[in-house]
Amino acid sequence: MCGIAGVVYKDGKLHSVGADMTRMLHALQHRGPDSAGFAIYGGLGLEENDYLLNIEVKDKPGLLDMVKETVELVSPIGSDEVIPSVENHIIYRCRITLESFSQLKPLIMDIDSIDDVIVLNGSHSFEMIKDVGSVLEIADRYDTWSKKGTHAIGHTRFSTESIVDRYHAHPFQSYIIPDITVVHNGQITNYWKIREPLERKGHIFETNNDTECIVHYVADKLASGYSLEEALEQSVKDMDGPFSYIVGTPQGVGIAKDQLGLRPGVMAENDEVFAVASEEVSLREVMDTSEVEQISPGEVRVYEI
């Protein structure tokens, strides 16, 4: 199961994409009750070298102060907020300034080394929101209804591997290149065959979830000079199993489907919007669906602003 969705506004301007993606995912709620997540691009408005960190911190005395001290060893905290969450944890969000993108992953690893702390993501051009619960519960908890952006991808999860928590919720991110995310429906059955060469090249995997493998694979191709379309086309050849997945980048979105077409994927577009999803019912939330196209087995679609 699992439900995936993506939407792009073709004019590249800010729109109510958070509300659109919330409705698209709610329409797919039947495909995944465990958790849900969003990657909303274009609305953060950060300065060139600024990044937003989302950090899960167990709610116990002194731990948040320890996190802040670790962050400030690398960068002054420009602004921050604490979001009450569930299961005795909080979400700490802070804006930092780095000299280069290469500093981001080492900082995240330093923060992750603190007991009862895990970095959910660090980003410059998108906001990641993901948690355990229903789409509408998460939408209300993080106010996705008000989020503006140019494009977004999202996911509702039915867990078939790995644990159910906010860290294993989709989207997954790679720090090989800035701000690439993936949402996925299916299984990559040759997971280790894909993962091992990437690890030998220096990719650091945090989980055994096959979606993380996809985002590392695509990021590696993009870092090697592939276009997004070329990277997705190669992934269809290299990856086995039933899958459809959507990639988000600062420039747009792409979708790829396995060669046997064992996982669903549909798309529609008009003069204003390009949208993809697991089911037509999701596309109806953002446009007239009189002309819906099925993504064919082995097919790739990309729309970049």
Mean pLDDT computed over 282-297? 94
DSSP3 helix / strand / coil % (the chain, rounded to 5): 30, 35, 40
Q: Which fold has domain 1-36+132-302?
A: Glutamine Phosphoribosylpyrophosphate, subunit 1, domain 1 (3.60.20)
CA distance 194 to 190: 7
- The identity of residue 258, as a single letter, is D
How high does pLDDT run on average in the chain?
Answer: 96
Which two structure tokens, joined as six digits, stand for 194? 């894909």
pLDDT digits (tens, 9 = 90+) for 90-138: 999 999 999 999 999 999 999 999 999 999 999 999 999 999 999 999 9
Which two structure tokens, joined as six digits, stand for 172? 């997954």
Count the neighbouring beta carbons within 10 Å of the beta carbon of residue 201: 12
pLDDT of residue 290 exceeding 90: no
Query: Can 2 be counted among the known catalytic residues?
Result: yes
Give residue 1's pLDDT.
Answer: 83
Residues of the chain with CATH 3.60.20.10: 1-36+132-302
User: 182: which residues sit within 8 A by CB, 6+ positions away?
Assistant: 170, 171, 172, 173, 211, 214, 215, 218, 245, 246, 247, 248
Mean pLDDT computed over 230-257? 98
Give residue 239's pLDDT.
Answer: 98
Q: Which fold has domain 44-123?
A: Alpha-Beta Plaits (3.30.70)
SS3 256: strand
- Give me the catalytic one of 2, 44, 91, 120: 2
Q: What does pTM read for this prediction? A: 0.96
Strands 151-157 and 3-9: antiparallel
Mean pLDDT computed over 2-27? 98
Give residue 303's pLDDT.
Answer: 98
When pLDDT is cut at 50, 70 and 90, the band that residue 163 belongs to is: confident
User: 95: which residues sit within 8 A by CB, 6+ positions away?
Assistant: 46, 50, 51, 52, 53, 77, 78, 79, 80
Q: Could you tell me which of 117, 128, 135, 191 has the C-alpha nearest to residue 161?
A: 191
Question: Within a 13 Å sphere around the CA of 189, how many CA atoms are in the beta-carbon half?
Answer: 6
Give residue 78's pLDDT.
Answer: 96
Q: At what angle do helices 104-112 and 63-72 cross, to 10 degrees?
A: 150
Percent of the chain at pLDDT > 90 equals 92
DSSP state of 126: E
When pLDDT is cut at 50, 70 and 90, the band that residue 159 belongs to is: confident
pLDDT digits (tens, 9 = 90+) for 40-78: 999 999 999 999 999 999 999 999 999 999 999 999 999
Mean pLDDT computed over 130-157? 96
Mean pLDDT computed over 198-212? 93
Give residue 82's pLDDT.
Answer: 95
H-helix or E-strand containing 79? strand 77-84
Residues of the chain with CATH 3.30.70.1150: 44-123
Give residue 160's pLDDT.
Answer: 76
DSSP state of 15: B
